[in-house]
Each structure stands twice: as C-alpha cells, then as structure tokens.
C-alpha cells in the first residue's frame, strides 16, 4: 500500500511493535503489561497524527490509490446492478459508470465518476476526466430514472472534465451546462455524494441534487490546489497554501451551505477501512432516499431550486456606511 507522508511515523511504530511482539512470543523479552503500554501509546500516536492533519495531508488521503472509487461502492453496497453504457449520440465514456441497482431491495439509478485503480484502468477511465459523451450518458440515465420514478445517486470523484481539443469540439461546455439545467428540473429525488475529488464544472455537471453529502476527507472546489497556486501565486509549489486558502473541505463546505451532510471516514481515511466507508455510504443513500420519498414533485423541485439559490452569500454596503468606516483625515 502507498504510504502517505503523515503515515510514515505510524507505520514505523506499528512495524517495531509487531517485531517486538514476535520476538517476545515464547520468550521474556517484554511482559504483557509492557506490550499493552506500547499498544496504548500506538493508539495515542495515531490519534495525535490524525487530529493534526493539514488540508494538504487530506488532499493526499483523498487521492490515495487504494481509496474506494465509484465502482467499488457500486459493487459493495448493491444487492444487484446492471450497467448502462453509451450516450446514444457518439460513444460510451468509461470515466462515467451508470447502473440500475438495488440496495436493500430498493431500486436506484447510480451514476459515478470512475478514476480506475492501476495504470491500465486509469488510462481506460481517462483518470476520471469525463468527455461530453460521459455527461450525455449521465443525463440519459437520469431521464430514464425520472421516467420510472427511481431515485438518482451521483458519486463525484474527478480532477475535472477532460480539457482536450476533442472534448471541446464535441461540446464539453454545452454538455455540462445542459446537465446543470436538466438536473435542476428532473422530477425524481437526486442524492449527490462527493467521495473523492470534486473539481470544477467537471464535478458540478453531476452535482445538482436535493441533498449533497461529502465524505470527511473528500473536497469540492472550483479548481485543484495546484491550479490555484499556479494562477494566484504563479508557483505550483504553493499547493499546500492553496489547499488551506480554498476552504474546500467538508467542515468549511458545511458551514457555507454547499453540502448538507458530512459522512465520517475511519481514522486516517477510507483506504484504511473500506468496509466502514461502504457502510457509511449505504446508510446515507438509504436514509436520504427515505426522507425524500414523501415529497410531492412540485415541492421537491422548488426546494432544490431554493437550495442552490441560497449559495454564494454576499453583503451590500452603501457609500455612506463605507465612508463612515474610514478613518477621518486631520
């Protein structure tokens, strides 16, 4: 497993502790009380390290190659599913996975952005960067869900929509804008969950919903920290400063009203206990689907509209108030 910078101390202590346990087995190198004391200190070390994570540390957790992706969640929380492919216009986009699925006997339309696990699958999935046909496939599946009154669940995890020339020629901006429009008025419940990276319009193109959840170490932002650092400071090495400045993690997004629910991850991130992450996501989907089921369609759409209208708060200051706040000149 890939080791993150903040995990090195933990891994080293854990390795030493394991070696001492093995050497003490059948010998009197350490007493049981001494081993218990070391285990207690190990838990204290983990608590200390994980409580002092910086925003950039959490970006590393979010991008960890063993972190569960959309397909992992679909395969592990669903009783059964049938994948849907193609946009009926150009071709299939493997960076978007869509499936009609059952979770605890309830039917859903699951649509996720998939990055892939290894080099081969990442190339196949285009590193989770959708083309226009991916967004059109997603919208086609949403319309299908609306027709059969199925709740929609979107799983966001992308560094951004693919920025290549071919994608622009096929209408990348239009495809995303079309999804924003249509998702705002699809007459069936939409549950959005950010499971990893949620960058730019690439994420927002599947992010309009009645409830928006986010995993504890995921993030949602107009741009990646590296991109922000390159633009604002002309220095991509200031990515840690950008990560802190953007306020793009769960607690900030919750405070700003961008997300509604924060799902806890196991200590250190979802990659250290995937089963825990699966159970949290499954519970979130079922709970939200049950809550949204009773709303009439007209109320659901109005509530969704007002939810996004409330975002982006600002204050107006009159010239008189502005002048009165300035220090008087002698």
**pLDDT, averaged in runs of 10, over the chain (330 residues):** 79 78 67 77 84 92 94 97 95 97 97 95 96 97 97 97 95 96 96 96 96 97 93 91 94 94 94 96 97 92 94 72 58
Q: Report the 10 Å Cβ neighbour count for 240.
A: 15
Exposed (0-12), middle (13-18) or buried (19+): which is 113, by Cβ within 10 Å?
buried
pLDDT at residue 294 in the model = 83
pLDDT at residue 61 in the model = 94
Cβ-contact 140, 88 below 8 angstroms: yes
* 60-309 carries CATH number 3.30.420.40: no
> What's the whole-model pTM score?
0.88
Distance CA 206, CA 197 (A): 13
Distance CA 212, CA 257 (A): 10
> CB-hemisphere CA count at 13 Å for 316?
1
Where are the strands (E) in 188-250, listed by range?
190-199, 211-215, 219-221
- Cα-Cα-Cα-Cα dihedral sign, residues 184, 187, 191, 197: negative
Distance CA 44, CA 29 (A): 23
């Amino acid at each position: 497993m890939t080791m993150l910078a903040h995990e090195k101390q933990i891994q080293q202590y854990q390795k030493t502790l394991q070696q001492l346990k093995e050497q003490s087995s059948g010998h009197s190198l350490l007493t049981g009380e001494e081993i218990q004391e070391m285990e207690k200190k190990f838990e204290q070390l983990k608590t200390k390290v994980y409580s002092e994570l910086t925003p950039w540390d959490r970006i590393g957790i979010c991008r960890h190659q063993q972190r569960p992706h959309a397909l992992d969640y679909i395969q592990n929380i669903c009783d059964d599913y049938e994948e849907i492919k193609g946009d009926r216009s150009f071709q299939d986009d493997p960076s978007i996975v869509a499936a009609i699925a059952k979770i605890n006997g309830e039917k859903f339309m699951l649509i996720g952005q998939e990055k892939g696990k290894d080099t081969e699958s990442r190339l196949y999935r285009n590193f989770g960067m959708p083309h226009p046909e991916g967004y059109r496939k997603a919208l086609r599946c949403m319309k299908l869900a609306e027709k059969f009154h199925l709740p929609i669940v979107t799983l966001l995890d992308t560094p951004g929509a693919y920025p290549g020339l071919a994608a622009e020629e096929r209408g990348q901006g239009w495809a995303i804008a079309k999804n924003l429009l249509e998702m705002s008025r699809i007459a069936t419940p939409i549950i959005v969950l950010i499971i990893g990276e949620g960058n730019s319009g690439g994420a927002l193109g599947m992010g309009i919903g009645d409830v928006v959840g986010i995993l504890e170490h995921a993030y949602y932002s107009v741009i990646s920290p590296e991109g922000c650092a390159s633009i604002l400071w002309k220095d991509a090495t200031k990515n840690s400063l950008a990560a802190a400045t953007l306020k793009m993690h769960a607690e900030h997004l919750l405070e700003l009203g961008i997300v509604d629910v924060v799902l806890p991850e196991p200590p250190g991130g979802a990659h250290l206990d995937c089963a825990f992450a699966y159970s949290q996501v499954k519970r979130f989907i079922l709970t939200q689907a049950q809550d949204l089921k009773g709303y009439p369609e007209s109320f659901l759409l109005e509530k969704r509209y007002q939810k996004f209208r409330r975002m982006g708060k600002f204050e107006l200051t009159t010239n008189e108030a502005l002048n009165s706040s300035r220090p008087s000149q002698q």
